[in-house]
Amino acid sequence: MRNLVYYVAVSLDGYIAGPEGQVDFYPVADDMAAWFNERYPEAVPTHIRPHAGLPVDTPNKEWDTLLMGRGTYEPALAVGIASPYDHLKQYVFSTTLAPVDNPQVEVVAGDPVELVRRLKQEAGKDIWLCGGANLAGQLADEVDRMIIKSYPVIAGAGLPLFSGGFRPARFTVTQRREFSNGAQVTWLDRVRPE
């Protein structure tokens, strides 16, 4: 069975982006970028790969499917990029976005939980939950693993890691790594009741 993996950056006060979707306040470090580009090349947008030193056709290692909300997708669409992760099958959740003329991108107006449960049963690599907070909140009970890039910065306001109601869920740390910018990356797996 495929896992749903929430791979995301977060500030010390729990925000994945600023109020207007800003992410440029996270401190950048070459060692961190190089390590993640090697470990998770599929997380680098297709059009950015050459600038990151990756061939456009670098094989996917962990994920072959991506889920994102409209707010996560729109910055690429605004600059004319209909398929920002053309090396992945992309599902964009929106009730207002028109269909996209690209076979790698499917706009979904329906229930994200229903789609994720179906995708988990299909053959393939794991599924990357890219963002945002609303979609993560809807899929919170379906998240099997989290890879949290925690940056040593306070945002003050913005989009939370998850939005939605109070639903405690327990995860266990499986790995942790620190980089020169002070960022810590933590891998966590959901603790399932026996």
pLDDT digit string, tens, across residues 4-37: 999 999 999 999 999 998 999 999 999 999 999 9
First to last CA, the chain: 18
Q: Write the DSSP assignment of 91-145 as a string of letters.
A: EEE-SSPPP-S-TTEEEE-S-HHHHHHHHHHSSSSEEEEEE-HHHHHHTGGG--E
Q: What is the pLDDT of residue 172?
A: 97
Q: What is the pLDDT of residue 165?
A: 85
Q: Which residues pair with 158 in a beta bridge?
A: none
List helix spans (H) across the chain. Answer: 30-39, 70-78, 112-121, 133-138
pLDDT digit string, tens, across residues 41-62: 999 999 999 999 999 999 999 9
**Residue written as tokens 């398929």?**
83
Question: In the predicted model, what is the mean pLDDT of residues 157-162?
Answer: 96
Q: What is the pLDDT of residue 182?
A: 96
% of the chain surpassing 90 pLDDT: 94
| Predicted structure pTM score | 0.95
Tell me if the bond preceding 14 is cis, omega within 30° of 0: no
Q: What is the pLDDT of residue 105?
A: 98
Q: What is the pLDDT of residue 193?
A: 79
pLDDT band at 131 (very low <50, low <70, confident <90, very high): confident
